[in-house]
Amino acid sequence: MNLMSEFNLIDHPHRRYNPLNGEWILVSPHRAKRPWQGQVEKVVEDVRPKYDPKCYLCPGNERIGGHINPEYTEPFAFVNDFSSLLNDTPEGSWTDGELFKADSEQGICKVICFSPRHDLTIPQMEVDEIKPVIDLWQKEYNELGAIPFINYVQIFENKGSIMGCSNPHPHGQIWASKAIPVEPEKESIRQLAYFEKHGRTLLADYLDAELKKEVRLLASNDHFVALIPFWAVWPFEAMIVSRKQLQSIAQMNDAEKLALADIYKQLTVMYDNLFEVSFAYSAGIHQAPTDGKDHPEWHFHMHFYPPLLRSASVKKFMVGYEMLANPQRDITPELSAQRLRELPKVHYRLI
Ligand code: ZN
């Protein structure tokens, strides 16, 4: 490698800009060329039963707090017994001079069981079993978003014990709040500025460019594309972006919801196949706030943030420089995308 040669993104350390949140990431591709000395061990995976009498999410079981789950056969949502937000918190704000500021916050937290089956995960479910999950997301977004004091509905999934997920039963969460949370707020500001300047959404133009470049694409169908964003922080971070500008899940028709189920499965099968392990991640939807305003700038997308780096057990830590300065990665997003694209399309447990 000649460091004096012309700057390129393959050999040279560089910073990449994230236009969605305005932040930067340091990429050190020269370090990914070091031989990996560590072990690449396989983990022994637990075999879970279809029904676990001790699981508080399985049908018919009692939850802490005394509620009994119905014998549900389709995705099922309920108010979290340990909600972080409450809908009856008194309104108010508190200040003590310029430096101390707090606002009361109201909200509703729900849990969504994706399947009555304790032993499944999204990549192991069929597309027509995932579609009802998307239907329920849409219903919850519409109903929670219609509540006057709810201005943002955050739908997300925390998968795997290394992400701090306490129960392996396939499930996700929804936190609906009065305030627009920090990450969607950053993206709202950037998307609005772009839309006002160009009259198109930031992600419509970004997706057009990525479809031409092809290097970071992972999977696609008629309505959605999965890709590794140019500015990805996590080694195998991904995004699902709608081809058409949809401001939110509320605007999706049946074909689009089926296509979202399909791309969600395609991406998570790739993830599981990468290290032949049930791949941990935090994933969630970013979409228009439910604050009663028009949001022509918002373009529906999902983010996937998986922590695994080199094997089923070696994860990336965000420490040191990353906590104090900005995030850094070695393997480039382009190489990560190539690795994921080359994997078999069938789940490894079925081969
Ligand atoms: Zn986003």
Does residue 15 lie in a domain region?
A: no
Domain region containing 133: 76-89+101-177
Task: Note the pLDDT tens digit of each residue in 57-109.
Answer: 999 999 988 999 999 999 999 999 989 999 999 999 999 999 999 999 999 99
Does residue 3 lie in a domain region?
A: no
Span from the CA of 301 to the centroid of ligand 1 (angstroms): 6
Which one of 169, 171, 286, 301 is the catalytic residue?
171
Q: What is the pLDDT of residue 34?
A: 66
**Model-level pTM?**
0.95
Q: What is the dihedral of CA 331, 269, 282, 229, to 10 degrees?
A: 40
* Beta strands at 281-286 and 152-159: parallel, antiparallel or unpaired: antiparallel
- Number of domains, the chain: 2
Span from the CA of 65 to the centroid of ligand 1 (angstroms): 35
Q: What is the pLDDT of residue 339?
A: 95
Span from the CA of 138 to the centroid of ligand 1 (angstroms): 18
Q: Which of 138, 155, 177 is where one domain is finished? A: 177
Say yes or no: 131 and 158 in one domain: yes
Span from the CA of 185 to the centroid of ligand 1 (angstroms): 9
Say yes or no: 201 and 237 in one domain: yes
Q: Which of 123, 144, 177 is where one domain is finished? A: 177
Q: Is 171 a catalytic residue?
A: yes
Q: What is the pLDDT of residue 89?
A: 94
* Axis-axis angle for helices 127-145, 254-275 (nearest 10): 120
Say yes or no: 220 and 245 in one domain: yes
CATH of the domain at 219: 3.30.428.10
Query: Which sign, positive or negative, has the C-alpha torsion 285, 290, 291, 294?
Result: positive
C-beta separation of 341 from 69 below 8 A? no
Say yes or no: 270 and 157 in one domain: no
Span from the CA of 338 to the centroid of ligand 1 (angstroms): 23
Q: What is the pLDDT of residue 351?
A: 82
Q: What Å distances lie between residue 139 and 39, 50, 76, 136, CA to CA?
A: 46, 27, 12, 5
Below-50 pLDDT ranges, the chain: none
DSSP 29: G
3-state helix, strand, coil in the chain (%, to 5): 30, 20, 50
| 296 contacts: CB under 8 Å, gap ≥ 6 | 195, 201, 247
Span from the CA of 242 to the centroid of ligand 1 (angstroms): 12
Does residue 120 lie in a domain region?
A: yes
Q: What does the block give as tokens for 47? A: 């075999």
